[in-house]
Amino acid sequence: MDVKIEESWRQQVGEEFDKQYFVSLTHFVREEYLRHQCFPPGRLIFNAFNLCPFEQVKVVIIGQDPYHEMGQAMGLSFSVPQGVMMPPSLINIFKEIEGDIGTPMPADGDLTRWARQGVLLLNATLTVRAHMAGSHQRRGWEEFTDAAIKALSARRDHLVFILWGGYARSKRMLIDPRKHLVLESVHPSPLSANRGGWFGNHHFSCCNAYLEQNGIAPIQW
């Protein structure tokens, strides 16, 4: 695994690469990609960071694991490439956007356009073995992505952290609520969303209102 990460992020979290946990993680991921089909493609493992430099981050949306089926994972939480069928969670995200701010459902689920506007689409675990959800959890990725969240909380101001579901909400302890807006709700997956608490959470309008109040250009969701 070649650690090719955008330079501003290297300055913020580069010290992690020399720690023993990351050395062990690198060995594990290399072996997994050699022996098994894994996602996302190696060049996209750090895609969330490479599309969204540290100083350009406005919003952080925390996911848990990359998609584990063929052609879905692209290194951005919740996103799938153009031409790939949208997963149910992403459909529910777009439904809430339409209900909240009126933006109609897009033709595809590629969220690169969000990333380029300053939305860090960060999965806590950055790789996965094909067809095996959670297979690369607790190997060190979470320590690395926690370090990224802590760096943003400590060294930036007026960010919006969006935490959907119990796992993402557990990351609240890493974020300083005096400096940032933290939005929480149930997960957009049908199992959670249909129980209530997802539709009508107004996270997208709340996010943009907070950004504008602090003189920051809103996101074109």
User: Structure tokens of 150?
Assistant: 């802590």
Q: Give the active site residue among 2, 18, 65, 108.
A: 65
- Give the residue among 128, 148, 127 at the shortest CA–CA distance from 52: 148
Q: With H, G, I as helix, E, B as strand and everything else as coil, classify residue 196.
A: coil
| Interatomic CA distance for residues 65 and 76, integer angstroms | 10
CA dihedral 93, 96, 102, 107 (to 10 degrees): 30
| 108 carries an active-site annotation | no
User: Structure tokens of 49?
Assistant: 């960071």
Tokens 């370090």 map to which residue?
147
> CB-based burial of residue 156 (10 Å sphere; 0-12 exposed, 13-18 middle, 19+ buried)?
middle
- Extract the runs of DSSP E, i.e. beta strands, from 38-190: 38-39, 59-63, 119-123, 128-129, 160-164, 181-185
Give me the active site residues, please.
Answer: 65
